C-alpha cells in the first residue's frame, strides 16, 4: 500500500471590501441575483455570477421544484446559460454567495458536488482554470485559483 497526500490552498478575504474591485462587483452581482432564487422548500438561496473573457457577466440563482431533484443550483444555472448563449467564450471567474432564510450563513459555502463536476467540465473544455470566490451571506470569502482545489480527482471525458 502507498499513501498519497493531496493538499490545496485558498486565499481568504475578511470581507467583500478586501476583494479586488472587479471581484467586489462580481460578488455584488451574485448577491443581487441570490435574491431572485426560487427556494420555497429549502429556504436556502444561492447566487452565482460568472465573468466571461469578454467582460460580460452572466448570473444565476437556484431554482427549486416540488418534483425534487428537478431544480438546479445557481452555479449550474449560470454556467449552462453561459455555455448556451456565449459558446466559445472562456469563463474567467465565478463568485458564489449563499444565504438561508432561517439560519445565518457567515462561513464560506462552496459549490455542491454536482456543481463542482459541471464547473470542472468547463474548466477542462476551455483548458484554463476558473477562479472561484465563495462566501455565505456575510463574513469571510475564500478564493480558489482553480476548480481542481475543490475537486482534485475530477471525472472527465478521458475516462469514457
Question: What cell was used for 77?
Answer: 444555472
Residue ranges per structural domain of the chain: 12-77+87-103
Q: What stretch of H or E contains 99?
A: strand 91-100
36 DSSP 8-state letter: T
Looking at beta carbons, which pairs linking 11-17 to residues 24 or more positions away fall under 8 Å? 11/142, 11/143, 12/140, 12/141, 12/142, 12/143, 13/140, 13/141, 13/142, 13/143, 14/140, 15/139, 15/140, 15/141, 16/135, 16/141
Listed in sequence order, the residues at least 6 apart from 151 whose beta carbon sits closer than 8 Å to its beta carbon are 113, 116, 117, 120
Q: What is the pLDDT of residue 142?
A: 98
72 DSSP 8-state letter: B
Q: What stretch of H or E contains 48?
A: strand 44-52
Reported as a single tens digit per residue, the pLDDT across 59-75 is 999 999 999 888 999 99
Catalytic site positions: 75
Percentage of the chain beyond pLDDT 90 is 92
Reported as a single tens digit per residue, the pLDDT across 37-58 is 999 999 999 999 999 999 999 9
Residue that wins the pLDDT comparison between 160 and 32: 32
Question: What CATH code would you report for 12-77+87-103?
Answer: 3.40.140.10
Q: How many whole angstroms separate alpha carbon 83 and alpha carbon 93? A: 14
Amino acid at each position: 500500500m502507498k499513501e498519497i497526500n493531496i493538499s490545496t490552498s485558498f486565499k481568504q478575504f475578511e470581507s467583500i471590501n478586501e476583494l479586488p474591485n472587479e471581484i467586489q462587483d462580481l460578488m455584488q452581482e451574485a448577491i443581487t441575483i441570490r435574491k431572485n432564487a426560487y427556494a420555497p422548500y429549502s429556504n436556502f438561496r444561492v447566487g452565482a455570477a460568472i465573468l466571461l473573457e469578454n467582460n460580460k457577466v452572466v448570473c444565476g440563482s437556484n431554482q427549486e421544484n416540488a418534483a425534487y431533484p428537478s431544480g438546479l443550483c445557481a452555479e449550474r444555472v449560470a454556467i449552462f446559460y453561459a455555455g448556451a448563449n456565449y459558446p466559445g467564450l472562456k469563463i474567467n471567474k465565478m463568485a458564489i454567495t449563499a444565504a438561508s432564510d432561517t439560519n445565518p450563513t457567515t462561513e464560506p459555502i462552496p459549490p455542491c458536488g454536482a456543481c463542482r463536476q459541471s464547473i470542472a467540465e468547463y474548466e477542462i473544455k476551455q483548458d484554463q482554470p476558473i477562479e472561484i470566490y465563495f462566501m455565505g451571506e456575510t463574513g469571510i470569502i475564500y478564493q480558489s485559483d482553480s476548480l481542481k482545489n475543490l475537486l482534485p480527482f475530477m471525472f472527465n471525458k478521458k475516462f469514457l
